[in-house]
């Protein structure tokens, strides 16, 4: 018996289920990160983006409705890997001066994954004739990019704090590396 050839519609729906799962996991990870963050601006960024991500989940539900498919999550191996890595990093760096820098880096890994996925989904939605879905996906894509830029800005401050609190100044480490 011949199997049906997969189409871009199928890829769109499967990726949508994947990002639906990822976004729900992101909300949980952001709440956990907010509790762990020491730096006020970082904590606030996590809290704000957790709320924003909850709205993004709602938008994804609307996209499912637009395409006439049930809103279902499919386990996202990538997000599981990123959140697992975050857990390990929290354990390894939790009490160190670099803890917030590591948290910000983990959050940016999530953002970069989501930016890639939302960019793809937006393009596919446009190509498949789902203009309303493309608009919703673009709204989320812009929020993800904005959050990534904010995390980069915050990271510049907290990374320096992590360096300054370390036993060996960065300038000495650079000198040793150059030898």
Structure letter (DSSP) for residue 71: -
pLDDT 10s digits, 77-104: 999 999 999 889 888 988 888 899 999 9
Higher pLDDT: 8 or 166? It is 8
Structural domains of the chain, ranges and CATH numbers in brackets: 8-167 (1.20.1260.10)
Please state, for a pLDDT cut of 70, what percent of the chain lies above it: 88
Residue 98, token pair as written in the block = 């670099």
The answer to whether the CB of 55 falls within 8 A of the CB of 112 is no
Nearest to 69 by CA among 158, 130, 111: 130
């Amino acid at each position: 018996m011949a199997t049906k050839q997969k189409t871009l519609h199928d890829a769109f729906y499967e990726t949508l289920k994947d990002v639906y799962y990822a976004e729900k996991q992101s909300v949980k990870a952001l709440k956990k990160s907010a509790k762990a963050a020491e730096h006020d601006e970082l904590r606030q960024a996590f809290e704000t983006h957790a709320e924003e991500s909850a709205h993004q989940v709602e938008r994804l539900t609307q996209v499912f409705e637009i395409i006439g498919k049930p809103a279902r999550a499919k386990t996202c191996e990538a997000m599981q890997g990123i959140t697992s890595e975050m857990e390990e990093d929290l354990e390894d760096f939790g009490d160190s001066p670099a803890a917030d820098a590591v948290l910000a880096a983990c959050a940016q890994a999530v953002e970069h994954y989501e930016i890639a996925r939302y960019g793809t989904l937006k393009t596919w939605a446009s190509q498949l004739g789902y203009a309303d879905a493309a608009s919703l996906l673009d709204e989320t894509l812009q929020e993800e990019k904005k959050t990534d830029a904010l995390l980069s800005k915050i990271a510049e401050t907290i990374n320096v704090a992590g360096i300054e609190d370390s036993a060996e100044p960065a300038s000495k480490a650079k000198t040793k590396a150059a030898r």
